Amino acid sequence: MDFKKCPYEHTLFVKTGENGKMLILCLYVDDLIFTENSSVMFDEFKKCVIIELKMIDLGKMHYFLGLEVVQSDEGIFVSQKKYVREILNRFEMQNCNPANILVELGLKLNKAWSGKKVDNMVYKQIIGSLMYLSTKRPDIMYVISLINRYMEYPTEMHLLAAKRILRY
């Protein structure tokens, strides 16, 4: 099919045609998305994939790697609303009061061995969920890196800080 692998991104492939026409393909495990500036190349590729790989055309993309995608005339919009709802439900925070700021003012996290210890598995699951969420929300990454330091011996103070990020 004459695709060339992008030297900077191992999941990205590009096929170029005449007069600057191009087809861009992103492949990740069993997810495949593609875009083009030539409807002829697009139709040719789609037919080939359906026949050769017995794939099904699902139409316009709605989800990709957990990201919600909305395509309209105004542009393409990506969000993680569904994922946020899922993690709030998972940690029983679906009815929590939202927070306007990420960290409580004056909060000092430390490795104090005092304080009530909490289940570090739940704490690690919250941190992991937040780290995946940060791919679309870089504003929370710094605070996640702060609470990440206390995964081995989290106390109620650390768990409350993590839950505040979920509320945010």
pLDDT tens digits along 83-129: 899 999 999 999 999 999 888 888 888 776 677 889 889 999 999 99
| Number of separate domains in the chain | 2
Q: pLDDT > 90: what percent of the chain?
A: 33
Lowest mean pLDDT among 31-40, 138-147, 157-166: 31-40
pLDDT tens readout for residues 7-18? 998 899 998 888
How far apart, in whole angstroms, are the C-alpha atoms of residue 57 and residue 76? Answer: 19
Residue 75 lies in a domain: no
Q: How far apart are CA 56 and CA 51, in angstroms?
A: 9
- HEC string of 78-116 equals EECHHHHHHHHHHCCCCCCCCCCCCCCCCCCCCCCCCCC
Q: Any idea what DSSP says for residue 152?
A: S
98 lies in the same domain as 161 = yes
Across the chain, mean pLDDT equals: 87
**How far is Cα 138 from Cα 144, in angstroms, rounded to an integer?**
10
Same structural domain, 85 and 27? no
- Same domain assignment for residues 49 and 95: no
Same domain flag for 142 and 90: yes
In a domain, 13, yes or no: yes
Give residue 117's domain range.
81-167
- The whole-number average pLDDT for the span 21-29 is 87
Collect all residues with Cβ–Cβ distance below 8 Å to 141 and sequence separation of at least 6. 134
Q: Do 93 and 46 have their domain in common?
A: no
